[in-house]
Amino acid sequence: MGIVINSTQISYFILAAYPNIGLLKYVYFMIIMILFVFIVGANMLLIVVICLNRSLHEPMYMFLCSLFVNELMGSSGLFPFLLLQILSDVHTVSVPFCFLQIFCIFSYVCAEFSNLAVMSYDRHLAICCPLQYNTQMTCRKAAVLIALAWFYAVFAIGSLISLIAPLQLCGNVINKVYCFNYSIVKLSCSETKINNIYGLIVTFVTVFVPLMSVFYTYTRILKVCFSGSKKTRQKALSTCTPHLVSLLNFCFGVCFEIVQSRFETEGAQSILLIVVSLYYLTCQPLLNPVMYGLKMSQIRKTCKSLLFSIF
């Protein structure tokens, strides 16, 4: 039986999944730095465009603005830390910062699914109930839905961390490139039944409830599209396609990470597994601003006019 170490006495965790890549670390550093700069620049640009343009002060664009703010939060919780770890020869992280990173990354995941769910509800009202849309989806109602989405994310992950923090640990080695709540639970020498049950409940509420909601709303949307005119179908597809692509892309990344974390192998992971495990934290913040910036004509026009006025 291992020696029990109280988690409050541990000053740091060791991240064991970083491979020894030698001088290639500078190449990876530059690639990740470019990705991070693009993510911050693209999302910030769209947030500024939506905030400054009064014609975009509508529920749909409020939801998009919330989505872009969330991408910035998730990226900021990962990329600066990742850049430092790549250049470092010793891959350690302090306990408080580890919990902070867990809070940022998993709050991002919760808020992303919640935002995508309320966006599907918004599109459902716009396409299935167009005449009642302006009365049923006001800016005030949109603000309340956004606030609830963020409140749930903060509350769910805050509670998760409060259950992890008191655990007694038998070690401090995490087989990941960033802090992961379930990896810390697996290090515990104490009873983790409550942690596992709460983790499963949060996973179900965060992932499967929004997915069921989206499935229902898009079933209704498709029914209206197929029974409507060609123009109605084209308009519905143009507004719903980015949302569906974003949702499916994010689901793939999150589901892969959930499966991998539950069945992770011992020892350092391969570069491919590391890249795929980071997919939902890197591709989504890259994909969303590009998709919505290109597909939404009003955003596209405003971006062009703003950039032309600057340069």
| Per-residue pLDDT reduced to its tens digit, 258-269 | 777 766 555 445
Encode the chain in three state secondary structure: CCCCEEHHHCCEEEECCCCCCCCHHHHHHHHHHHHHHHHHHHHHHHHHHHHHCHHHCCHHHHHHHHHHHHHHHHHHHHHHHHHHHHHCCCCEEEHHHHHHHHHHHHHHHHHHHHHHHHHHHHHHHHHHCCCCHHHHCCHHHHHHHHHHHHHHHHHHHHHHHHHHCCCEECCCEECCCCCCHHHHHHCECCCCHHHHHHHHHHHHHHHHHHHHHHHHHHHHHHHHHHHCCHHHHHHHHHHHHHHHHHHHHHHHHHHHHHHHHHCCCCCCCCHHHHHHHCHHHHHHHHHHHHHHHHHCHHHHHHHHHHHHHHC
Q: Which two tokens stand for residue 300?
A: 């596209």
User: What confidence score (pLDDT) does residue 232 get?
Assistant: 66
Q: pLDDT tens-digit profile of 154-197?
A: 999 999 999 998 888 888 888 888 998 888 888 888 888 898 89
Q: How far is CA 82 from the centre of its chain?
A: 16
- The half-sphere exposure of 200 on its side-chain side, counting CA atoms within 13 A, is 6
Neighbours of 157 (CB within 10 A): 23
**6: confidence class by pLDDT, cuts 50, 70, 90:** very low
Instruction: Kindly report the pTM of this predicted structure.
Output: 0.87
Q: Which residues contact 83 (CB under 8 A, 6 or more apart)?
A: 29, 32, 33, 36
**36: confidence class by pLDDT, cuts 50, 70, 90:** very high
Q: pLDDT tens-digit profile of 107-155?
A: 999 999 999 999 989 988 888 888 888 888 999 999 999 999 999 999 9
- CA of 12: how far to CAs of 101, 109, 180, 284, in Å? 13, 25, 14, 30
Residue ranges and CATH numbers for the domains of the chain are 10-310 (1.20.1070.10)
Classify residue 283 by burial, with Cβ atoms within 10 Å: 0-12, 13-18, 19+.
middle
Q: Which two tokens stand for residue 10?
A: 């541990």
